[in-house]
Chains A and B, each alone.
Chain A
Amino acid sequence: MAGYQTSRDGPSPFIWLVNGLGRLLAAVFVPIVTFLVLWQGFIFLRDNKAPQIVMVTVAILWGVGGVALLYLVSNWLVEKLPDAMRRAIQPFIFVGPALAILAWYLAIPTLRTLVLSFQDETSRVFVGLDNYVFAFTDRIMLEAFRNNLLWMIFGTGFSVGLGLLIAVLADRSRFENVYKAIIFMPMAISFVGAGVIWKFMYTYKGEGIGINEIGLINAIVLALGGKSQPWLSLPPWNNFFLIVIMVWLQTGYAMVILSSAIKGIPAELLEAARVDGASEVKAFFRITIPYIQGTLLTVITTIIIFSLKLFDIVRVMTGGNNGTNVIANEFYLQRFTYGHTGRASAIAIVLLLAVVPVMIYNLRQFRERRTF
């Protein structure tokens, strides 16, 4: 009777043992095999001996497939565990990789950069606040701060102002989508590409018989009877010529976001204002602006943060020379040209401090939403 009961309750000890061993072996081997396959892929990619097209295909398959495989295998392992354990561990299979990467790439580096910012260029000797003294008092840094301020005020001002103007005007046109697509188009272009486009606009050949200016700006200036200029080496105005590029790139962003906010204004509200005899301008300032002010604030914040971290345009156009340096470019120069890790870290911390108010605002918004 007892024997029957055991066999009814579960498999015989022998089968149980074989099963258990098999499971254990599988649980050990599957991850090992997975790891080996991925490692082989890595070695193959690192050695880089096959033709490029093969390498690129393998790289894409290995990268995407590898991540999917890791999730699949780790989940398969967890599903084998007893219920209670599985329920405790499984959430971490889902959120663990993301949290690990965030920790490695953003959270911990912030602390490490903070430590590095108190050390010298060898990253061994602590030098107190020396790097911060440099960051806040050096002539080059002060120039970079001034320029970033110009970018933040004028770049953001013109992008948002123009974006708002276009959004309001396009709302009244039948060809709205065509206009918006054209203004929005630069959003798809890299800053390096935009740099080439505008460098060509500003290009300068100098004076002399038989020399034709091939840059449009100088050609127009000449046609109007002026003198051609090397626009990008005329401090402090060259900063504004660079800011034009940012306006060209970012107006589309402001326009699209603001346009959708404007479309959310109830038609009756504007109608009522017009019936009351309010002019278009008055309706704009009394109704449109108050109604979209939340969105407006978001757009302004986003573009200010963008102009604070601006790097590519300056790097490609002037390299930061002729009085056009910005903070992010000085960060790059300190770390990669002068090899001064400490100073570069201090500059990165300064950039972080500048966005802390936005971070606090985001966190407060999040706490108020009570989705958790």
Chain B
Amino acid sequence: MATQGSLKRQQRLGSLFVNGVLILICILWLVPALGVFITSFRQSEDIFGSGWWTVLPHKEDVETGEIMVAESIDVTGPFEIEGITTTFEELRTGVTLEDGRKLTWYGNRRTRRIIISEKEWVGFGANLTLDNYKNVLTGQEIRFKDASGQEIMRKGNDLSSAFLNSLAVAVPATIIPILIAAFCAYGFAWLSFPGRKFFFTVVVALLVVPLQIALVPILQDYTKLNLNGTFLAIWLAHTGFGLPLAIYLLFNYISGLPRETLEAAFIDGASNFTIFTKLILPLSVPALASFAIFQFLWVWNDYLVALVFLGDKNRVVTSALAAIVGEKGQDWHLLTAGAFVSMILPLTVFFALQRFFVRGLMAGSVKG
């Protein structure tokens, strides 16, 4: 009995240790994002003056009153005030009374002003605002206050239009490669043609090719075709860079579909196109969804490809956010709100469809 009891205690201790470590790591993981999230809702003058954690309830010295020291008291030596004997020097750094009140001399010897403060809970009625989001979304002139309360005027970064551009880039740049890759995977899996094995070997080889290898020549082509800055240019680029993985994943899935179903359809005289659209696509929905989420997050979060092929024309959220970092690196009210605008959609997609995303990650190991 005794050993069983100690075993149980050991297990409980073990579980406490496991959960303790995990909770600690999770806090470490959440705090950076939490700081930005909270800051994005604070008034700009507050942000410059104090850390975001002051929004959380904590004890702080709060001024409750003041005493004017009478002219008759000599403050060059020790003197008596509020029932204690003290000196100017001590009061300068602050003296705490027995009842918890704190006395602090304000300014130099001649001001004769002592500030009374008490430790109080603050942070419940934090001064929050949506202005930062309004300011970062608009392309118009914006006004805000700096640490000293001075009003500053800037040009907005128009993140709302960048958001729309990101949508216009990410949705087709997700669907187009999937469609093309699905056709291709079907071809590799069910049709015979000369060079089939060679071409698939090329696809496998291209899986890990870094996309930097393609940027310079493709940019030359785009300049010749006058395609720089267009949506078509960036869709095709993302399609090209995403295709090897898409073909590879979808081939693995489509070639694993039951042979009998397809053969039955062939015998019924269905054409390849009908089989593909009516049979293969519906059966492949899980694989298509996995890759779709993977590709959508990749395209939405991409910075390099957008920077090279779109530049300042049709700016997407990542470029717009990076531009704020460059131009207004210390305007944390804009940066934090901008960061959250850029994250809201991928985070939603991610948490809503996490299962599919994980499946996609498992299936494909390396991407170029």
Q: Interface on A for B, CB 8 Å cutoff?
A: 42, 45-46, 52-53, 55-56, 59-60, 63-64, 67-68, 71, 75, 79, 88, 90-95, 97-99, 101-102, 104-110, 112-113, 116, 162, 166, 169-170, 172-173, 175, 179, 181-193, 195-201, 203, 212-216, 219, 248, 253, 256-257, 260, 298, 301-302, 305, 308-309, 311-312, 315-316, 328, 331-332, 335-336, 341, 344-345, 347-349, 351-352, 355, 358-359, 362-363, 366, 371-372
Contact = CB atoms under 8 A, between A and B. Distances in A.
Contacts of A200: 32, 35-36, 39, 332, 335-336
A173 B23 CA distance: 11
Interface in B185-199: 186-188, 191-193, 196-197, 199
B236 A193 contact: no
B304 interface: yes
Given A182-B29, A312-B304, A315-B303, A64 B171 contact: yes
Contact of B168 (A59, A112, A345): A59
Most buried by A among B19, B29, B201, B302: B29
A96 B244 CA distance: 14
Label chain B's interface by main secondary structure. helix
B184 A97 contact: yes
Nearest 7 pairs between A and B by C-beta? A105-B240, A94-B187, A63-B172, A98-B184, A190-B301, A188-B350, A91-B193
Interface in B6-51: 14-15, 18-19, 21-23, 25-26, 29-33, 35-36, 39, 47-51
Contacts of B216: 109, 112-113, 116, 335, 341, 344-345, 348
A248 B193 CA distance: 46
A335 B219 CA distance: 11
Given A46-B230, A315-B322, A166 B272 contact: no
Contacts of B262: none
A113 B220 CA distance: 11
Given A52-B161, A95-B199, 20 more contacts: A64-B179, A92-B187, A99-B199, A107-B206, A113-B216, A169-B22, A182-B30, A190-B303, A192-B318, A200-B332, A201-B32, A212-B49, A253-B361, A328-B304, A335-B215, A349-B213, A355-B210, A359-B209, A362-B207, A362-B208
Given A98-B181, A185-B29, A309-B212, A59 B231 contact: yes
A162 B217 contact: no
Most buried by B among A95, A104, A113, A189: A95
Contacts of B81: none
Label chain A's interface by main secondary structure. helix
Contact of B236 (A101, A256, A308): A101
Given A79-B271, A172-B15, A190 B217 contact: no
A34 to B, nearest CB: 16
Contacts of B164: 52-53, 56
B366 A301 contact: yes
A163 B1 CA distance: 38
Interface stretch (B57-65, B95-103, B109-117, B339-347): B339-347
Contacts, number: 330
B27 to A, nearest CB: 9
Contacts of A351: 210, 212-213
A45 B232 CA distance: 9
B135 interface: no
B244 A173 contact: no
Contact of B26 (A55, A182, A186, A315): A182
B346 A189 contact: yes
B344 to A, nearest CB: 10
Contacts of A116: 216-217
A189 B161 CA distance: 20
Interface of B: 14-15, 18-19, 21-23, 25-26, 29-33, 35-36, 39, 47-53, 161, 164-165, 167-168, 171-172, 175-176, 179-181, 183-184, 186-188, 191-193, 196-197, 199-218, 221, 230-232, 235-237, 239-241, 243-244, 247, 255, 271-273, 276, 297, 300-304, 308, 317-318, 321-322, 325, 329-330, 332, 335-336, 338-339, 342-343, 346-347, 349-351, 354, 358, 361-362, 365-366, 368
Contacts of A182: 26, 29-30
A55 B39 CA distance: 34
Contacts of B330: 203
A51 B199 CA distance: 43
B105 to A, nearest CB: 16
A196 B208 contact: no
A352 B213 contact: yes
A352 B214 CA distance: 11
B272 A94 contact: yes
Most buried by A among B21, B23, B180: B180
A6 B43 CA distance: 89
Contact of B366 (A169, A197, A305, A344): A305
Contacts of A187: 297, 350
B209 A248 contact: no
Given A94-B183, A212-B50, A109 B213 contact: yes
B26 A60 contact: no
A315 B303 CA distance: 10
A162 B179 contact: no
A103 to B, nearest CB: 9
Contacts of A197: 32-33, 35-36, 339
Contacts of B362: 257, 260
B161 A68 contact: no
A173 B183 contact: no
B361 A105 contact: no
